[in-house]
Amino acid sequence: QSQPLSEAIRLNQLGYYPNAAKIAVVVGETQGAFQLVSADLKTVVFSGNLGEARQNAISGKTTRTADFSTFTKTGTYVVVIPGIGHSYPFEIRPSVHKNLAIGALKGFYYQRASTELPAKFAGKWARPAGHPDNRVLIHPSAASKDRPAGTVIASTRGWYDAGDYNKYIVNSGITMGTLLSLYEDFPADMNALKTDIPESTNKIPDLLDEVLWNLRWMLTMQDPTDGGVYHKLTNPRFDGMIMPDKAVNDRYVVQKSITATLDFAAVMAQAGRVYKAYNRELPGLADSCVSAATKAWTWAKANPTVVYNQADMNAKFDPDVVTGSYEDRNASDEWIWAAAELYATTKDESYYKAVNLFPDTKTPLPAWPQVRTLAYYTLARFGNDLTSLGKKDLPLVKQHLTTMADSLLMGADKQAFQTVMGKSAKDFIWGSSAEAANQGIALLQVYRFTDSPNRSQYLLYALGNLDYLLGRNAVGYSFVTGFGDKTPMHPHHRPSIADGIVEPIPGLLSGGTNANAARQDKCAGYTSTVADEVYIDADCSYASNEIAINWNAPLVYLTFALEALQKD
């Protein structure tokens, strides 16, 4: 057959598990037959009819599904719609997302500050060390008696936050919580994992080695005198589009904040639990984490109103700082998360009692300014191992999580791309790809404990959101660099722009479609104003095509979790 490639056919560009759902979506008015054909376009292996017409609630466009779920034979195929063309090729096989999962975790390795990335581990993206951060200045806003303005501290390691080279505690918080939760939820799979990083030969699981790179940095961000945590380590202004080793401007730690300090407390409490098993390899680390967490908590109790307000800070202190602000005036969710993690680790009920863990019936989707539900994930995870107080509330925790998951599922079968993601235009915010990944995680959290007859739906739609991220969406991109056929080639990511290599650094999740991106980054070239279509693969589009650690982490969680749960 002579069929052109058609971008109207949207599917998971990596592929499908043999025994799971397999759905492609065609956008447009086409109806009738479709075929599954070998990748050389020679052999038809399955035929079916497109499903009923669905209306995209956001754009009004018509879509139809090509459902070949019943076809289970491994191989490489395309979907063909006569008169339209063929899709990108994809595989049907077990472990079809394993390389992606490993690649997305490896994305964190590429984000490491203060170290060289040798070719042995970084391949053609090898680069010299940047940002030693061994001479970081105390910004006047962060001055204390023991550390007056201009004091030099060492604050090495950590991951670059995103396409820029700064290191922000708030955003590290949810990122670390997500990765540590992956370890706690799937320890056996994570212990068996190898990702080819310099530490792969040591006795610590690779996931925990990678997390350790950022954990050690986070520990340096706490003022040892009072336990408060600096909001971020940053240049005053963003660097140009240059490689890390060329970016040598002075860096500062700025004022402490309540959100940074509570997020830090939550991460350190969780790390204290997780790294306890590695006390022989990392002597004293777990205890240091717990003690850092309790000190942070003490500071928070004494300073509950110290929010980060960059404009106010700049009005009072020089130099002005204009980098990412991660401002969040409401710390009630950070209190809940820190309290839950400290309680789960120490079993000390005073943390549990210190805050109202259930201030209302809501269960917000996790995001950097909203971490309440991470507390519920942890309480559900430990379930009956909690003290009587936590055990008593367990049904309530599960009810919160189930209500959230069920509201995500509601109407997903009517959605144009058959995904939970994109039921509403509200999903398409800055970093929407992480919304999709976090929705998937929310569904899996319930899948893990529920015995509802609906159980399989949670897994089905978690996988559906991975299909969304890998191409079954309104723009037809797989949003992960290097994974898929139509992927971001020009992410807003300094090393990918400056390294002179055509392919961007792989395994990085683009923030993705963002209804307001054109207004936010003023990058030229957006072609649509429809909420689920506002995306361009251009490096000036930092509002739709940047990468960030808090977006990669839920991708890592979702892909590894689905790999673990889909052993067929």
Q: What residues act catalytically?
A: 164, 492, 537, 546
Contacts of residue 337, Cβ cutoff 8 Å, sequence gap at least 6: 177, 262, 263, 266, 371, 372, 374, 375
Tokens of 222: 């706490």
Rounded distance between C-alpha atoms, residue 364 and residue 376, angstroms: 10
Residue closer to ligand 9MR by CB (options 102, 549) is 549
Least distance to ligand 9MR, CB of residue 326, Å: 6
**Burial class of 203 by CB neighbour count within 10 A (0 to 12, 13 to 18, 19+):** exposed
Residue closer to ligand 9MR by CB (options 164, 189) is 164
Print burial letters for 523-552: b (CB count within 10 Å at least 16), e (below 16): beebebebbbbbbbbbbebbbbbbbbbbbb
Rounded distance between C-alpha atoms, residue 88 and residue 31, angstroms: 19
Rounded distance between C-alpha atoms, residue 310 and residue 148, angstroms: 20
Residue closer to ligand 9MR by CB (options 390, 431) is 431
Residue closer to ligand 9MR by CB (options 164, 539) is 164
**Burial class of 432 by CB neighbour count within 10 A (0 to 12, 13 to 18, 19+):** buried
Least distance to ligand 9MR, CB of residue 430, Å: 4
Residue closer to ligand 9MR by CB (options 535, 542) is 542
Rounded distance between C-alpha atoms, residue 557 and residue 549, angstroms: 12
Least distance to ligand 9MR, CB of residue 173, Å: 13
> What residues pair up with 85 in beta bridges, in sequence order?
81
Residue closer to ligand 9MR by CB (options 160, 213) is 160
Tokens of 194: 């190898």
Least distance to ligand 9MR, CB of residue 305, Å: 22
Least distance to ligand 9MR, CB of residue 547, Å: 8
Least distance to ligand 9MR, CB of residue 492, Å: 8
User: What percentage of the chain's residues is helix, strand, coil (to nearest 5)?
Assistant: 40, 15, 45
Nearest alpha carbon to residue 423 among 12, 27, 56: 56
Least distance to ligand 9MR, CB of residue 511, Å: 6
Residue closer to ligand 9MR by CB (options 164, 467) is 164
Rounded distance between C-alpha atoms, residue 39 and residue 79, angstroms: 9
Residue closer to ligand 9MR by CB (options 161, 239) is 161
Tokens of 239: 């660097």
Contact indicator for 288, 219 with CB cutoff of 8 Å: yes
Hey, CA dihedral for 447, 448, 453, 459, is it positive or negative?
Answer: positive
Rounded distance between C-alpha atoms, residue 420 and residue 412, angstroms: 5
Q: Is 65 helix (H, G, I), strand (E, B) or coil?
A: strand
> What residues pair up with 370 in beta bridges, in sequence order?
367
Least distance to ligand 9MR, CB of residue 99, Å: 25
Query: Which residue of the chain is nearest ligand 9MR when measured via CB?
Result: 324
Interface with ligand 9MR (CB under 6 A): 161-162, 164, 324, 326, 430-431, 542, 546, 548
